[in-house]
Chain A
């Protein structure tokens, strides 16, 4: 088959998704996750009488717990396919990537399955986070020492 014809055929069978609709969904879902974070902080400061800093730690742990549980139940993948970046960019995406990688490779055993694959997707976030934080931290520290 000619290349052009083939490309036309592929185009025809590609699912049509409007980019504008995706963007709006991501905006609304992402915003709601942010609101959930803020509300959790308010609730924890009220109920447990702790400072805002401590409450934000509780909030992050809560969100990670919910995301991990939903991933393990298989619900989160369906939500992600609808909301896309709205759920992948908040900390829930980090928890989702770890849990889903661990569960997918469970059958290959505890060491070469779960152990070596749990950071398969989340590893890049930690690697580039640490390297960039170290680099920018050095820059800032040197500037402060000189100034």
Chain B
């Protein structure tokens, strides 16, 4: 059941993005930024957690989950350490994604040449 919901959820988000891309003048950069903000907004009141519970991996793959994990880590830390926790916990959950993206990008850049 997770697999079907994953397909529908992730597919729908990509469909919305494609419709925005084709019908407006916004670039993919605008759209990913808007989607990250949307993800953070949806998690403010726990709506995105509901999607993750229902759809599993399908809700973790789109870029909206990046915004969700940023605010989720910040709020979890804020529960124990107070106001500063918002700053301390910001990258708690996304650290693995950002770090691995940086490392892989750097290593592959060293070994491969640009293709035109």
Chain A residues with CB under 8 Å of chain B are 19, 22-23, 25-42, 52, 56-57, 59-61, 63-65, 68-69, 71-74, 84-86, 88-91, 93-95, 98-99, 102-104, 106-107, 114, 118, 121-122, 124-126, 128-130, 132-134, 136-141
- How many angstroms from the CA of A137 to the CA of B21 in the assembled complex? 29
CB of A94 within 8 A of CB of B101, answer yes
Q: How far is the CB of A100 from chain B (nearest CB, A)?
A: 9
Q: List 29 A-B contacts (CB under 8 A).
A: A19-B19, A19-B23, A26-B15, A27-B18, A30-B11, A30-B13, A33-B10, A34-B6, A34-B7, A34-B61, A35-B6, A35-B7, A38-B56, A41-B57, A60-B60, A60-B61, A64-B97, A74-B115, A85-B14, A90-B14, A91-B63, A102-B106, A124-B32, A125-B32, A133-B40, A133-B71, A134-B90, A136-B43, A136-B71
Asked if B29 and A124 make an inter-chain contact with CB atoms under 8 angstroms apart, the answer reads: yes
Q: Would you give the 0/1 interface string for B58-95, flagging 1 where the beta carbon is closer than 8 Å to chain A?
A: 10111101110011001100100001001100100000
Add 17 more A-B contacts to A85-B14, A129-B66 (CB < 8 A): A26-B18, A27-B11, A30-B14, A31-B11, A61-B97, A64-B104, A72-B108, A72-B112, A84-B21, A88-B32, A94-B97, A95-B105, A99-B109, A106-B113, A136-B44, A140-B44, A140-B71
Residues from chain B with a CB closer than 8 A to the CB of A85 are 14-15, 17-18, 21, 28, 31
Please report B residues at the A interface, Cβ cutoff 8 Å: 2-3, 6-15, 17-19, 21-23, 28-29, 31-33, 35-37, 40-41, 43-45, 55-58, 60-63, 65-67, 70-71, 74-75, 78, 83, 86-87, 90, 96-98, 100-102, 104-106, 108-109, 111-115
Question: Across the two chains, which residue of chain A brings its CB closest to B60?
Answer: A56
Give the residue name and chain of the B residue nearest to A92 (CB).
B61
* Known contacts A34-B6, A56-B60; A84 and B18 CB within 8 A of each other: yes
In the bound complex, CA of A31 to CA of B111 (Å) = 32
A35-B3, A114-B109 given as contacts; is B115 within 8 A of A61 (CB)? Answer: no
Q: Are A23 and B15 in contact (CB under 8 A)?
A: yes
